[in-house]
Amino acid sequence: MALALNDTAPDFEAQTTEGDIRFHDWIGDSWAVLFSHPKDFTPVCTTELGTMAGLKSEFHKRNVKVIGISVDPVENHNKWKGDIHKATGHEVDYPMIGDRELVVAKLFGMLPADAGTTSEGRTPADNQTVRSVFVIGPDKKIKLTLTYPMTTGRNFQEILRVIDSLQLTAKFPVATPADWMPGEDVVIAGSVSNEDAVKRFGSFDTVLPYLRKAKQPSA
């Protein structure tokens, strides 16, 4: 069955470019982004991994660990790093999982159970569902899933935006409206009465009886 939001992310052991890990132990008390790509030494993936490397400090200040994965072996990942740096100017300094037996890709529903047990002979097209993003909370629950088509590179700024929303709404009884950006008004949760809303947020704007907006609360 496909993984759903709030499911516990599968735990696993794997080889990475920074040594062996057990996934849940590696996450620890942090948030995590597991993002996959179809194949090393391919053009869109090269730009994506370099972009993520350039944003690592943004994830770090949000207490988010980053880890990449594909069905290529770890030695290929290490060889590819030079091309990524040459193309994007960014050094990949986060771990990359080598899932050559397709174990993790299957656990996360990125490849079907009958996809085989080896990456040998697989093309990017064979792995096209392996361009996915999973945001996982400190509770090891899946908070976000995204899967992109082969021809479309991911927008990592959007992933940061969603993490900002997830972390804000984990602390306060609010939601974030369409196209919300950090610092903009938020939506007060329906579970909060008008009286409590005044206590929590001060003044607020009642757009509709069920749509109340307030200034973003600070931590």
Give tens-digit pLDDT for 44-84.
Answer: 999 999 999 999 999 999 999 999 999 999 999 999 999 99
Predicted local distance difference test score (pLDDT) of residue 208: 97
Predicted local confidence at residue 55, as pLDDT: 97
pLDDT value at 2 more than 90: no
Architecture label for domain 172-214: 2-Layer Sandwich (3.30)
Mean pLDDT for 28-43 is: 96
**Mean pLDDT, to the nearest integer, of 18-30?**
98
- Residue 72 Ramachandran class (φ > 0 left, ψ -120 to 50 alpha, else beta): beta
Kindly report, residue by residue over 79-117, the tens digit of the pLDDT: 999 999 999 999 999 999 999 999 999 999 988 777 777
What's the rounded Cα separation, in Å, for the pair 110 and 69? 11
* Tokens coding 108: 């996360």
Question: Of 158, 197, 157, 195, nearest to 174 (Cα)?
Answer: 197
Residue 180 pLDDT more than 80? yes
In this prediction, residue 130 has a pLDDT band, given cuts at 50, 70 and 90, of confident
Is residue 198 part of the annotated active site? The answer reads no
State how far Cα 122 lies from the chain centre.
25
What pLDDT score was predicted for residue 219? 63
pLDDT of the residue at 1? 58
Q: What 8-state DSSP symbol labels residue 141?
A: B
The answer to whether residue 123 scores a pLDDT higher than 90 is: no
Nearest to 177 by CA among 210, 144, 145: 210
Across 5-38, b (16+ Cβ under 10 Å) vs e yields: eeeebbeeebbbbeeebebeebbeeebbbbbbbb
Q: Given the residues 9, 33, 44, 45, select the one marked as catalytic.
A: 45
Instruction: Give the pLDDT confidence score for residue 210 in this predicted structure.
Output: 95
Report residue 68 as tokens. Answer: 């990449």
User: What stretch(es) of the chain map to CATH 3.40.30.10?
Assistant: 13-153
Q: Output the six-digit token pair for 213.
A: 């907006």
What average pLDDT is seen over the chain? 94
Q: Where in the chain is the domain with CATH 3.30.1020.10?
A: 172-214
Q: What is the 3-state secondary structure (H, E, C) of 42-98?
A: CHHHHHHHHHHHHCHHHHHCCCEEEEEEECCCHHHHHHHHHHHHHHHCCCCCCCEEE
Check whether domain 13-153 has CATH 3.30.70.1090, yes or no: no
